Structure 1
Amino acid sequence: MAEPVVMYGIGATKAGTSWLYRYLAAHPDCYLRSIKELHFFDAREQDSRDWYLKQLKNAGASLGRRIASGQGGENGQASLHLAEIGIYSNILRKGDETAYLAFLQDGREDERVVGDITPSYSLLSAECLAHMAKIAGDARFVYLMRDPVDRLWSHVRMIARRRSKDGSDIPERAARIFDKTLDGQEEHIVERGDYRATLEKLEMTLDPDRVFLCTYEELFSDAALDRLCEFLGIRPMPGDYDTCVHTGIPVPMTADQKQRAAKFLRPQYDYVASKLGQMPRGWGAAMAGA
């Protein structure tokens, strides 16, 4: 059996990576494990392995309770997912690259592509990205971007939801987190949408033919998916464009927030436009009023 393409989905956060995972997991030429985000490389480089192991443990415990109460479904997917959590936790704990690559392929038949879609990989150093390419053989990187203002606000709402106890205060929390972000107090939100930093590392490190760039605004179309499938060397397949993934609580931005965010993020708009030769389609609505 031929060695597969190893596809790394490296972000950005809130730019369609969960939808992309579901699309590729359902593709007959792809083999993805039931854990979307493996965090193998960032756990090691950022010394956060214990934190991610705790997340896996909590997820496994929650899933185990669901299965025990009869809520695990009838097709065995929940039990499979629970088993994979246990197997992968041991691999992550040891930090064994050979075992990690074997995990991506374990159970694969003749599928062309295996993969790991972990948006926080966009924060990895150029050296780590180069290492990922080297150990995987035929490695290809997929980086999704989204209108900077829309992405930031979606990320803010996600954090607000996580920090809320019952969901009743999400709009107020989102407004406070937004203000703190623009004041430099929520750096993780800004970092996840720092397209310039990620694109510069990719350009510095990788063969451009091994990097696929796409925007959230164009992703949900046959044209974009045909381009992605050609990049990965798999058969074209239309997507389920009616299914939304992790859409979050619908809290609208105010006009003032849009203008402040657009001004704050103007360097990201300008840099991406310069790299692509033009502003991506669907970007810049908020910037028009800034």
Structure 2
Amino acid sequence: MTSNLFLIAAPRSGSTQLSAWLGSHPDIGMPPIKEPNFFSQHEFPPAFVAETRLNDVIPERYVASRSKAEMQFAIFREPAQYDYLFEDLKTRWRLDASTTYLQCPEAPAAIAAHAPDARVILLTRDPVARALSHYRLAARIGQTTRSLREEIDAELRGETPLPGRFLLRPSRYDAALARYRQTFDDSRRLELTFEEMVADIEGTLARIAAFLGIPAAGFDQGLDRQNSGDAPRFRRLNVFLHRSGAKTVLRRLLPPSLKRRLKAVYFKPNTDSVDDGDTAYLRELLEVRA
């Protein structure tokens, strides 16, 4: 068994929440790693992955130990290791929710070759709102201490490696959507937006159920909010934990129940504001008018 359903979303467009709803359905199986990035692995040089501590697990060790620990993100490069994530799933649909597939030019054809019967769900968000959400996340986890404009300019100057460009590239959808429309016809492709989803959760899940040929009643809409944009209470400590790699180690070692309790203490609702001029600069670059 291997993947045959792909949630291909722009980062910060609600993919974690939607994948949780999808995984609650008895006809949809979720692998223990939400984003294995197998079909975009070539965009992640091993040295960059090691330096930035991107992997929540080390795939070789994870598979060798027969682990099924649930984690968010890792770069799986070997076909057998990727298929290991799905080997226990006996459901009709088996989900890969890697957000990196949207902008990766080679991903659509690779997915189609891997699973000729695959269905893809494309999820996007207002480009400016998405980029602002991603910037706040990067600041929250200690990935950046720069202003929004400084981060944008670093991307424009080419100082940021391709997989680290989280503001402009992930918010430019036209070419990405065109590739998936060319590869997957209407019967195998469903396009959604974050705004539609939050405005009508029940209707969105009904559309997905019809698209996949499964009962709409199977989704659990009562799941807790996933991957919210809360801010750390202790910003300097947060930056240290991220840059030292301690956060990655803790994610691997702590049980989910303890992580949930610690998050309630560690984070607070995000009230951070972004400079209006920086936001206007971002909007201009994305060619979006207010």
- Counterpart of 2:150? 176
The question of 1:103 aligning with 2:84 is answered: yes
Amino acid in the other structure paired with 1:245 = N
Greater mean alpha carbon deviation, residues 211-220 or residues 244-253: 244-253
For residue 159 of structure 1, give the secondary structure of its aligned residue in structure 2.
helix
* Deviation of the 1:208 alpha carbon: 2.9
Alignment deviations for residues 36-72 of structure 1 (CA, whole Å, 9 cap, x no partner): 11011111x33635655895866469xx9xxxxxxxx
Separation of aligned partners in 1, 2:121 and 2:49: 23
* Deviation of the 1:120 alpha carbon: 0.6
Over 3 Å counting, the alpha-carbon distance change for 1:58 and 1:264 in structure 2 is closer
Amino acid in the other structure paired with 1:263 = E
Over 3 Å counting, the alpha-carbon distance change for 1:130 and 1:259 in structure 2 is same
* Deviation of the 1:243 alpha carbon: 1.4
* Deviation of the 1:261 alpha carbon: 2.3
Over 3 Å counting, the alpha-carbon distance change for 1:179 and 1:252 in structure 2 is farther
- Counterpart of 2:9? 11
Separation of aligned partners in 1, 2:95 and 2:50: 20
The question of 1:201 aligning with 2:198 is answered: no
Separation of aligned partners in 2, 1:56 and 1:150: 24
CA RMSD of superposed structures (Å): 3.5
* Deviation of the 1:175 alpha carbon: 5.3
- Contact 1:157 1:174 (8 Å CA) reproduced: no
Among candidates 235, 239, 249, match of residue 221 of structure 2:
239
For 1:1-290, what aligned pairs fall within 5 Å after superposition?
Answer: 6-43=4-41, 45-46=42-43, 48=45, 55=53, 59=57, 80-81=68-69, 92-93=76-77, 95-96=78-79, 99=80, 102-109=83-90, 111-126=91-106, 128-163=107-142, 173-174=147-148, 176-178=150-152, 180-181=154-155, 188-189=165-166, 190-220=168-198, 221-236=201-216, 237=219, 239-240=221-222, 243-249=225-231, 250=270, 251-266=272-287, 287-288=289-290
* Deviation of the 1:134 alpha carbon: 2.5
- Contact 1:5 1:138 (8 Å CA) reproduced: no
Give the TM-score normalised by the residue count of structure 2: 0.68
Separation of aligned partners in 1, 2:30 and 2:221: 16
* Deviation of the 1:151 alpha carbon: 0.5
- Contact 2:8 2:101 (8 Å CA) reproduced: yes
Alignment deviations for residues 91-138 of structure 1 (CA, whole Å, 9 cap, x no partner): x35x22xx35643532223x2210111111112224x41231122132
Separation of aligned partners in 2, 1:53 and 1:136: 30
Amino acid in the other structure paired with 2:225 = T
- Contact 1:156 1:174 (8 Å CA) reproduced: yes
Which structure dedicates a bigger proportion of its chain to helix? 1
* Deviation of the 1:27 alpha carbon: 1.7
Amino acid in the other structure paired with 2:215 = R
- Contact 1:32 1:116 (8 Å CA) reproduced: yes
- Counterpart of 2:248? none
Alignment deviations for residues 223-275 of structure 1 (CA, whole Å, 9 cap, x no partner): 11111121122221352476142314322233333332222212xx5xxxxxx
The count of aligned residue pairs is: 235
- Contact 2:28 2:94 (8 Å CA) reproduced: yes
Separation of aligned partners in 1, 2:206 and 2:137: 30
For residue 26 of structure 2, give the secondary structure of its aligned residue in structure 1.
coil
Instruction: Tell me the percent identity.
Output: 25
Alignment deviations for residues 170-196 of structure 1 (CA, whole Å, 9 cap, x no partner): 5x5445324545777556221112211
Separation of aligned partners in 2, 1:47 and 1:259: 31
Over 3 Å counting, the alpha-carbon distance change for 1:195 and 1:51 in structure 2 is same
For residue 141 of structure 1, give the secondary structure of its aligned residue in structure 2.
strand
Structure 1 segments, 4+ long, off by >6 Å, are none
- Contact 1:4 1:138 (8 Å CA) reproduced: no
- Contact 1:140 1:210 (8 Å CA) reproduced: yes
- Contact 1:10 1:142 (8 Å CA) reproduced: yes
